[in-house]
Amino acid sequence: MEHASTPLSQGTGPGWQLLGDFELPIGPPANTIHSWLVQLLTPLHLDHDFLTLLLGSAQDATLRALHSNSGTSFEHIHLSVFVPNERDSQRNTWGFFRIEKIDSSELHKDHPEYVVEFYLYLEG
């Protein structure tokens, strides 16, 4: 299992910065993802209901990778969480969207990775 957290000052593209990365082998206990996300997201002071929704979404994505009907054997699930480069401290209602994809690059030719990206944003 591989953990990586990236400082918020590091940009990843227009408007987004990587909050953290997590790579785990297929078939991990759900509490591993839960623990990592809770620790990663604690500094954002997210509402309990929102955090529960986000954690459920991560678990759903993991289950989808485990039970994929694509005929592809995945070796890892790669989770990434992104937040806006600039956050207005006056707004505190968060939303998110999730992107799932299969990384079949040359690096992962034999066993592609199942990639899940979460983008958290401030509403309003």
C-alpha 71 chain-centroid distance: 23
- Token readout for 54 is 């986000």
- Specify the 3-state DSSP secondary structure of 117: strand
Average pLDDT over residues 75-100: 85
Cβ(101)–Cβ(80) below 8 Å: no
More confident residue, 6 or 64: 64
Determine what percent of the chain is predicted with pLDDT higher than 90.
Answer: 38
Is residue 73 scored above 90 in pLDDT? Answer: no
Q: Give the chain's domain count.
A: 1
User: pLDDT tens digits, residue range 20-49?
Assistant: 999 887 665 556 888 999 999 999 989 999
What tokens were used for 80? Answer: 């990434």
Task: Decide if 91 contacts 122 (C-beta within 8 A).
Answer: yes
* Residue-number span of the structural domain to which 87 is assigned: 2-122
Residue 100 has pLDDT above 70, yes or no: yes
pTM for this entry: 0.78
pLDDT tens, residue by residue, 111-123: 678 899 999 998 8
